[in-house]
Amino acid sequence: MRTDHCWRHRVLAVAVLAAACTGSAGDVREVSDTATTAVETAGVSTTVPEVSGPATSTSTTSIVDDSTSGSAEPVVQEAVVELTPLVAAEELDVWEHVLTLGYGPGRSQLGFDRFGPEYATVGRDGVWWVLDTMKKRVARFDAEGRFIDDIPVERPGQFPFLLDDGTFLAFGYDELVVVRRGLVSTRRLDESFSPLMDDGSVVFGRGYPYPALFFSDGILQIGKTEWLRTRGGARFKLRSHPETLELEWDGRPATVLGLSFVGPDGAAVTRGGFEVDTTHGDVVYLLVDGYRNEGDEMQLVARLVAFTSAGVVGTVSVPGVVFDEAGPSTPAHLVIHPATSTPHLVAVDVTGLHIWRLAGPEAPK
């Protein structure tokens, strides 16, 4: 099932909810030689973004009007995206099933039910790092799903990221797990750091200015930045409103792309959440979900949206399997393979953790 997007023009008022977040060091311990080797082999050089420096122990929430930040108020060009009903995976030729990691008591199997694993992320080498909450570990599997090793972690967290230098990060509500150069450390965050995306060296948080977590000279830092950054280095801003999302590219003509959402046949929908990830080719992908009411029943709707700095927009249907929840408020996980720039979807249900790859007609590159 495919639905083309349409274009309209209007001017939108911009108001952004801002939140800052801080962190501190915690316990550190070594992991096995096997895990140490795995962490080090993925290392590449990285750079640190423009941020204001380490954060102090403060937390603020305020409304920031960013509409006057440039030399002129940008013109907003709107793209209306139709969120479509979820489709059975076998009916979508645009998605290819990559692997399933099942449950069981062995080390090569995940925890015992859908509340065990909590999603995964992938490195340049194709190795998947899975948060296995039930077994209190991070388990690693190769591209074919073969078990490699695991790293004991008391509370693995929920949102995993793997940086280009091999550093693995997993965020809980007020705690950060770091696996870096053969060491496991647990850092306490003064307030919840809600991760949004990473560019391979920095994890950006939700809010504005964006909290930015990164390593400088081996020391974990949390600062603030005005811009997000794609894996290719292009800077952009992503602003969220109740019914729309807005994207502005740095250094481009003063134009903001506003994405508004409707249901099938233009019906009204309530937007739920979204996930964002980027590619080395400066494509930004959004996995957006929502729902609409049909009588006494609620119908889930969703779409994978991609757009480029040139203003090209494309959308793809998503399989319903990604909405088998792994836990509260975690219906799906979008992962871009850093070596191939290919979008993947990670889902958890009663049979195991499943990974799907976009393999059909793709959104713009």
* pLDDT score for 324: 57
- The predicted structure's pLDDT at residue 362: 55
Q: What is the CATH number of the domain that holds 243?
A: 2.130.10
Residues of the chain with pLDDT under 70: 1-72, 113-115, 322-332, 360-365
1 is a domain residue: no
Q: 3-state class of 10 per DSSP?
A: coil
Return the bridge partners of 286, or none: 276, 305
Q: Domain for residue 153, yes or no?
A: yes
pLDDT of residue 242: 82
Which residue from 182, 151, 181, 155 is spatially nearest to 170, judged by alpha carbons? Answer: 155
Burial of 192 (0-12, 13-18, 19+ CB in 10 A): middle
Q: Is residue 365 part of a domain?
A: no
Range of the domain at 335: 6-358
> Could you tell me the sign of the dihedral formed by the alpha carbons of 68, 70, 76, 81, in that order?
negative
d(CA 228, CA 205): 9
Q: What is the pLDDT of residue 59?
A: 30
Which among 62, 141, 151 is positioned nearest to 109, based on CA atoms?
Answer: 141
User: Is 239 among the domain residues?
Assistant: yes
Q: Distance between CA 171 and CA 159 in Å, rounded?
A: 5
Tell me if residue 169 falls in helix, strand or coil. strand
Q: How many domains does the chain have?
A: 1
In a domain, 176, yes or no: yes
Peptide bond into 209 cis (omega under 30): yes
Residue 323 counted as domain residue = yes
Q: How far is residue 171 CA from its own chain's centroid? A: 12
Residues with Cβ within 8 Å of 215's Cβ and at least 6 positions away in sequence, in order, are 165, 167, 180, 221
Instruction: Indicate whether 85 belongs to any domain.
Output: yes
Contacts of 98 (CB under 8 A, 6+ apart): 143, 344, 355, 356, 357
Supply the pLDDT for residue 114: 62
Distance CA 245, CA 72 (A): 20
Q: Is residue 364 part of a domain?
A: no
pTM: predicted TM-score of the whole model, two decimal places: 0.79
Residue 258 tokens read as 């506003």
CA distance 330 to 349: 12
Q: What is the DSSP string of 66-130?
A: -TTSSSSPPEEEEEEEE-EE-B-GGG-TTEEEEEEE-B-SSTTSB-SSTTSEEEEEE-TT--EEE
DSSP states along 285-325 = EEEEEEEEEETTEEEEEEEEEEEETT--EEEE--BGGGGS-
